[in-house]
């Protein structure tokens, strides 16, 4: 997928090219568990490359390894991202045991405290993400687009915002824009392929994934396996209308 978001290749054209590329991947990998890897490899690679292009000439980011200041906010993820995180947690079980980290317990405990809370409630709660360990993200390699798209130019304002004292943080526009375009292109392609394409609250959705030994097979068969974890700021119907109107342009 060689499409780049540049001034001469506008947001709509970029979205359409991304969606087309995701649709190709969906056609090639239909009904196979490796589809999750193919979709996310494409999404994360496209995100990183285009953020690099867009960020050229802009000030350096304040984000760095070991800073988890913003990791108290609600995280949303698509179904492939949740499935990948569930698989990564199972794959990391031995390493986590050696580090004496009961990650599954942490996720269940976080879910009990956060289930049903909206974004504003989560800011007030200031509960650290269950994946933080010594300031680092335990699932960094597979963190969702929502986390990748959250990058700041000023750590002091991040600290103030995490403490609920200010609302505005100078977030990186390239990260936010590219995340939104890539994520929505993948969601639109999932919808066209008849797969659940919504966004889910991460703690709740990962609990559902860990409880369901057949989660990936269910999703590939078209079931909305994480339905009870859906975030409802934008309804399916509204998203579908938006994707249809973009298709028509
Ligand atoms: S998943 Fe990782 S990057 Fe995302 S909020 Fe949690 S600790 Fe932070």
pLDDT tens track, the chain, 249 positions:
456 665 546 899 999 999 999 999 999 987 788 999 999 999 999 999 999 998 888 888 988 888 888 888 999 999 999 999 999 999 999 999 999 999 999 999 999 999 999 988 998 898 999 999 998 999 999 999 999 998 889 888 888 888 778 877 888 999 999 999 999 999 999 999 999 999 999 999 999 999 999 999 999 999 999 999 999 888 888 888 888 888 787
Centre of ligand 1 to C-alpha 217, Å, is: 26
- DSSP structure class, residue 228: G
- Residue 195 Cα to ligand 1 middle (Å): 26
172: left (phi over 0), alpha (psi -120 to 50) or beta: beta
CA–centroid distance, 128 to ligand 1, in Å, is: 9
Distance set, CA 73 to CA 68, 127, 150, 157, 184 (Å): 10, 8, 10, 15, 21
* Distance, CA of 185 to CA of 43 (rounded, Å): 9
Residue owning the nearest CA to atom 5 of ligand 1? 71
Q: Which atom of ligand 1 is nearest to the CA of 75?
A: 5
Cα–Cα distance for residue pair 117/60, rounded to 1 Å: 33
Q: How far is the CA of 145 from the centre of ligand 1 (A)?
A: 10
The residue to mutate among 44, 69, 71, 92, having the most atoms of ligand 1 within 8 angstroms of its beta carbon, is 71
Angle at 192 between CA 191 and CA 197, to 5 degrees: 10
What separation in Å is there between the alpha carbon of 133 and the centre of ligand 1? 10
Nearest CA owner, ligand 1 atom 6 = 129
CA distance linking residue 146 with residue 78, whole number of Å: 9
pLDDT at residue 3, as a whole number: 62
Distance from C-alpha of 59 to C-alpha of 206, rounded to nearest angstrom:
35
Euclidean distance between CA atoms 169 and 123, whole angstroms: 13
Distance (Å, whole) CA 245 – CA 222: 23
Position 1 scores a pLDDT of 47
Angle, alpha carbons 126-183-228 (nearest 5°): 60
| pLDDT value of position 4 | 65
Q: Which atom of ligand 1 is nearest to the CA of 131?
A: 7
Structure tokens at 163: 């403490």
The pLDDT, as a whole number, for residue 236 is 82
């Amino acid at each position: 997928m060689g499409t780049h978001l540049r001034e001469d290749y506008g947001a709509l054209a970029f979205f359409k090219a991304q969606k087309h590329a995701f649709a190709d991947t969906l056609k090639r990998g239909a009904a196979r568990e490796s589809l999750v890897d193919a979709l996310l490899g494409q999404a994360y690679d496209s995100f990183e490359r285009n953020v690099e292009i867009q960020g050229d000439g802009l000030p350096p980011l304040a984000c760095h390894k070991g800073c988890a200041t913003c990791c108290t906010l609600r995280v949303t993820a698509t179904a492939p991202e949740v499935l990948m995180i569930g698989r990564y947690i199972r794959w990391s079980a031995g390493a986590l045991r050696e580090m004496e980290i009961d990650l599954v317990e942490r996720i269940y405990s976080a879910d009990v405290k956060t289930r049903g809370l909206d974004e504003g409630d989560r800011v007030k709660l200031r509960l650290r993400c269950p994946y933080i360990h010594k300031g680092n993200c335990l699932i960094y390699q597979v963190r969702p687009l929502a986390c990748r798209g959250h990058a700041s130019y000023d750590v002091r304002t991040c600290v103030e915002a995490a403490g609920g004292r200010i609302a505005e943080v100078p977030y990186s526009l390239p990260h936010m824009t590219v995340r939104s375009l890539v994520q929505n292109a993948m969601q639109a392609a999932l919808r066209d392929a008849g797969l659940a394409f919504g966004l889910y609250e991460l703690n709740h959705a990962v609990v559902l994934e860990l409880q369901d030994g057949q989660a990936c097979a269910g999703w590939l068969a078209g079931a909305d396996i994480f339905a009870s974890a859906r975030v409802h700021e934008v309804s399916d119907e509204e998203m579908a209308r938006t994707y249809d109107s973009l298709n028509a342009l």
